[in-house]
Amino acid sequence: MRVYKKSLVGFLVLLFICVFGLFLVRIIPMYIVKESPILQGTYTCDKLPFTSMVFDLNNDYTFYYYNFDEIDKGTYSKGTDNEHFINSSKFQNTKILNNGKKLTFTIIMDGETYLFKQIDRLPIINFETDD
């Protein structure tokens, strides 16, 4: 009977270690591996009230820039950590610094730094104009 109890206790300890190990394998990587956010969605800027930038991750990293009378389309790519680069006719390999926690990014255009804030997680592309 004593051998049976020792075997049962040993089996339960081994089972506990396995379950705890599986738990750690799922939880620890979330704290160790720092995922860098990828730009996605629609962003606007307070300094430029009629300007928006749209990043469509699901459409081959397509990027759209809308200004009052200007529309530009290109692509974007992930750099290191919080950097992204946009390429289009207006932006040639222009660096964007993304702050994923605050859902913002900064960009330098025409020598000035602008802060864009995410207004929607979805890429909202509006080709309508007021005529």
pLDDT (0 to 100) of residue 4: 72
Least confident of 26-30, 54-58, 110-114: 26-30
Instruction: Say what the pLDDT of residue 95 is.
Output: 93
Is residue 94 packed enough to be buried (19+ CB in 10 Å), middle (13-18) or exposed (0-12)? middle
pLDDT digits (tens, 9 = 90+) for 40-90: 899 999 999 889 999 998 888 999 999 888 899 999 998 887 899 999 999
DSSP string, 71-92: EEEEEEEE-STTEEEEESSS-S
The residues facing 84 across adjacent strands are 78, 96
As a whole number of angstroms, the distance between CA 66 and CA 113 comes to 17
The DSSP secondary-structure symbol of 37 reads P
pTM exceeding 0.75: no
pLDDT over threshold 70, residue 36? no
Tell me the CA end-to-end span of the chain in Å, nearest whole number.
Answer: 91
